[in-house]
Amino acid sequence: MPSLFDPTQAGDLHLANRIVLAPLTRSRAPGAIPTPLMAEYYAQRASGGLLITEATAISHQGQGYSDVPGLYSTSQLDGWKQVTRAVHDAGGKIVVQLWHVGRVSHNELQPHGGKPVAPSAITAKAQIVLIKGGVPTYVDTSEPRALDAGELPGIVHVYQAAARNAVETAGFDGVEIHGANGYLLDQFLKSGSNRRSDDYGGSIENRARLLLEVVRAITSAIGGGRTGIRLSPVAPANDVYDADPQPLFEYVVKQLATLNLAYLHIIEGATGGPRELPDRPFDYAALKAAYRTAGGKGAWMVNNGYDKALAEQALAGGADLIAFGRRYLANPDLVRRLREDAPLNTPDKATFYGGGAKGYTDYPALA
């Protein structure tokens, strides 16, 4: 039976084990610039097979929270170089999660105080974090404007440029496209947030068009073997839903199967919440079967509430990689703790967003 601690392959990425650091927003990048403290944080966790960075804005327009990092300026790329160097020096592998929040933003965070953008001008019933005077504050999202179809090729190009900069300049081993949790690509996918009547709305094929254009552009720039994607078929995060998600996501993964991706990262249930939603049933086994039947070879990564026992069960059922979030946040040596069945530190929710070393780099490792 596969073990959490077996070496494995995900596309072009040779991984020391099957344990993955899930992307976790920490809001510790003032001015959207990665810091030496962030380099320390990721390097502490480098024993995992793969580290996925916190969601990272591909442009100023793509930013939706205070003090989250970006990937669109020289100073940001220089900051990320410190992070990738530290992780590689510690023997780890790291990819950056490419993020455009779409409508999940606020006027204060947008260029010139403008409106956030979205597939349709529907305000998300959600909140974002603004940090003022070092204090995180939750505020409602601002009213968005609908993107004109003529703007979409530019957004695809920005994704592609961010991926190329991530690998060629910042030194990342690859990228993960954030297509989940109610952000821009997920907003286009799902019927509740996409009411368009052009080639990017209506049918499943049209709603999936932007996501697939982004993936194809990125794989053409850096190769499929360095590209992963995160999907959340039924997660209600940021006020998204789809009337019939099973055929939608089976269509999406069948298209992705042809692109030779490194991995698919699937959030099961509600992100950080229940793994099963009675009002939103979904067959994840059928989703994986659709991907494999269509020829998809990428590693299958699962996420949401995993502990060691559940992870071993998932591996026995055919998963390839297990993403750990809050457990990894609080346990920099999670790989060792899982191997030795050692007790785990408890995450400090009060320090999740913003601040400094407290609740970030000061979680103790085993003696």
Mean pLDDT computed over 315-332:
98
* Residue of 65, 159, 183, 353 with catalytic role: 183
Helices 152-168 & 209-222, crossing angle to 10 degrees? 30
User: What is residue 278's predicted lDDT score, i.e. its pLDDT?
Assistant: 87
Architecture of the CATH domain 8-351: Alpha-Beta Barrel (3.20)
User: What is residue 273's predicted lDDT score, i.e. its pLDDT?
Assistant: 87
Give the pair of three-digit tokens for residue 87: 């992780």
**pLDDT for residue 196 is more than 90:** yes
User: What is residue 237's predicted lDDT score, i.e. its pLDDT?
Assistant: 95
- Residue 277: pLDDT band by 50, 70, 90 thresholds? confident
**pLDDT for residue 3 is more than 90:** yes
What confidence tens digit (pLDDT) does each residue in 47-104 have?
999 999 999 999 999 999 999 999 999 999 999 999 999 999 999 999 999 999 999 9
Give the pair of three-digit tokens for residue 347: 């995450």
- Residue 131: pLDDT band by 50, 70, 90 thresholds? confident
**Run of H or E residues at 156:** helix 152-168
User: Alpha helix locations (H) across 202-244?
Assistant: 204-207, 209-222
Domain ranges of the chain: 8-351
User: What is residue 274's predicted lDDT score, i.e. its pLDDT?
Assistant: 85
Rg (C-alpha) for the chain, rounded Å, is: 19
Category of 91 on φ-ψ map: left (φ > 0), alpha (ψ -120 to 50) or beta: left
Question: Which residues contact residue 349 at a Cβ distance below 8 angstroms, ignoring those fewer than 6 apart?
Answer: none
Helices 209-222 & 245-256, crossing angle to 10 degrees? 20
Mean pLDDT computed over 293-301:
98
Active site residue 363: no
**pLDDT for residue 44 is more than 80:** yes
**pTM of the shown model:** 0.97
Mean pLDDT computed over 199-228:
98
**pLDDT for residue 124 is more than 90:** yes
**pLDDT for residue 134 is more than 80:** no
Higher-confidence residue of 276 and 365: namely 365
